[in-house]
Structure formats: structure tokens, C-alpha cells
Amino acid sequence: MGKPMCMNLIRADYELVIMDKNPSVVKEMENSGAIIAQTPREVASLVEVVITMLPDSKDVKDVVLGENGIIEAAKSGLIIIDMSSINPSVSREIYTVIEKQGIEMLDAPVSGGEPKAIEGTLTVMVGGKKEVFNKYAELIKSMASAVVHVGEIGAGNIAKLCNQIIVAVNISAMAEALILAQKSRVSPELIYKAIRGGLAGSTVLDAKAPLVMDRKFEPGFRIELHIKDLKNVLEASHTMGLPLPLTASVMEMMQSLLANGLGKEDHCSLVKYYERIANVTVGH
């Protein structure tokens, strides 16, 4: 995700200092005109805005607050825009620490996966002070087609968790429907064409049903990352005493796929959970 987002910032004429653990990404970004740093601390010492795009809560805490982290070199007035999808409570925890040093933060997770990151058409849900959002909205729009301020710090990640619930349950429902069609010896492709224009139609259906029928499970968004997001959903909901039975059910399906070595496949591989228990394979 980070590399195509950086490329879109470069195309928008922003000057970039980047740090990444992947040598091939670093080389590609350097060839595209980015300055290379060795640590988050070095990045923070050279820029006005730090954008982080990391796998999970611990990674963001380490990069911002850990050894050689952003906080060690951050000057008052620095802005951190965290575009990772993490636990909202961690966003608030980090902000509580950095605010004391005069550093502002937006939590701005994205939806759309790698294809939308490449196109620059991500959807971004942003939490933080409205005046900070207003100042940096155009920067974020260099990577996105929809950018919405949803509330104070942490609200961006709450919005992303809501998004991930709906995506996960939609994919699961789609998989059940395609399995029913296949088991009934009715063409899943024709079923898809018949229902996509009605109330059952959705962005998820249009994005994922063709991939399932073509048996294309290369990751746009990996099962293991969706598990991470649903873990954050359930942790947040349990803290509030809120039951989310559909989310919990899909989480267990994804855990089953992870246990069977499919964690790096696209989340539309949920259909394989149903294929195994129904003893049928969805295709054209």
C-alpha cells in the first residue's frame, strides 16, 4: 500500500523522505526521486509531515514512540498522519503522548486495497482536530478520491472498523449465495448478472464475485490482514460490552482459512471455506 501511495504523492509534486524495510521498495522509491532515511527518527528530522502506513497497532507505536522513533526528533508543529488500520484506543494513546510535545496527529485509515492505492482512488476516514484536517485534506486527496472527517482522534479507525465489518460480512454472504447457485447447478455467473443491479448489488459484489468465478485469489487485501482488523473490531466491541455475532462468525471462518495456509490469499478466499464444507467449487 505504501509504495503506490508514495508514487501518487510524487506525481502531485510533493517532496518525499521515505523509510522502508524492503530494499527493493527503497531502491524503486529512490529512483523515483525520494530521499532515503534509515530510521523513523531521521524521517521526522527532515520533514514537516510524517505519514505512516504500517501493518498493526504495535508497529505504529514502535515507529512513533519507540527507539529511534518519530518522537525522538519531532519538533513542535510536526504533523503525523497515520494511515494504518489499527485499534482506535492505540491512536488515542499515541496522541496523548505526542500532544505534550506540540505534535498533532490525524488517524486516517484507508479502504480500497492495493488496486485503489495504485489508482489514487482510496477512501480515507479521518479522525483528529477539524482545523488540522482542513489544513492537510488536499495532501491526503493526492492519494484518494474520497476523504471524510468523521470526528476526533480515533474516530478514523472506528470508521475503518465499521467498514471492515461490512466488507467481511458482504464477502461471506456473497460466498454463500454463489455456493447455493453452484450446488443447485445454476450458473453463478448468471446469478451474479441477475442480482447485481438490484438491492443485493454492491461494490463488494462487483469487485469480488468475478475474482471468485475466475479463481483469482492473488491478494488485493490479504485474509491475514482482515483477521487483524476483525480482531481490533472485536476487542473494541468487547470493551464496550457490545456483541457482534456476525463479525465473530466471519472471524472464525477466516481463522480456519489461516490455519489451512491461506492467510496470504485475498479475502474473497472466504468462498473456499464454504467450498470445503459444501464439497463444491464455484466457477463459470
> Where is 81: in which H helix or E strand?
strand 79-82
* pLDDT at residue 187, rounded to an integer: 97
Instruction: Name the 3-class secondary structure at 51.
Output: strand
The answer to whether domain 2-152 has CATH 3.40.50.720 is yes
The listed CATH number (3.40.50.970, 1.10.1040.10, 3.40.50.10260, 2.60.40.10) that belongs to domain 158-278? 1.10.1040.10
Domain boundaries, the chain: 2-152, 158-278
**Distance between CA atoms of residues 83 and 97, nearest Å:** 18
* pLDDT at residue 273, rounded to an integer: 98
* pLDDT at residue 261, rounded to an integer: 97
> What's the number of CA atoms in the CB half-sphere (13 Å) around residue 194?
9
**Distance between CA atoms of residues 86 and 223, nearest Å:** 16
pTM of the model: 0.89
List the chain pLDDT tens, one digit each, 284 residues. Answer: 899 999 999 999 999 999 999 999 999 999 999 999 999 999 999 999 999 999 889 999 999 999 999 999 988 899 999 999 999 999 999 999 999 999 999 999 999 888 899 999 999 999 999 999 999 999 999 999 999 999 999 999 999 999 999 999 999 999 999 999 999 999 999 999 999 999 999 999 999 999 999 999 999 899 999 999 999 999 999 999 999 999 999 999 999 999 999 999 999 999 999 999 999 999 87
Active site residues: 160
Q: Quick check: do 2-152 and 158-278 share a fold? A: no
* pLDDT at residue 284, rounded to an integer: 77
* pLDDT at residue 74, rounded to an integer: 83
> Where is 250: in which H helix or E strand?
helix 245-259
124 with 138: CB under 8 angstroms? Answer: no
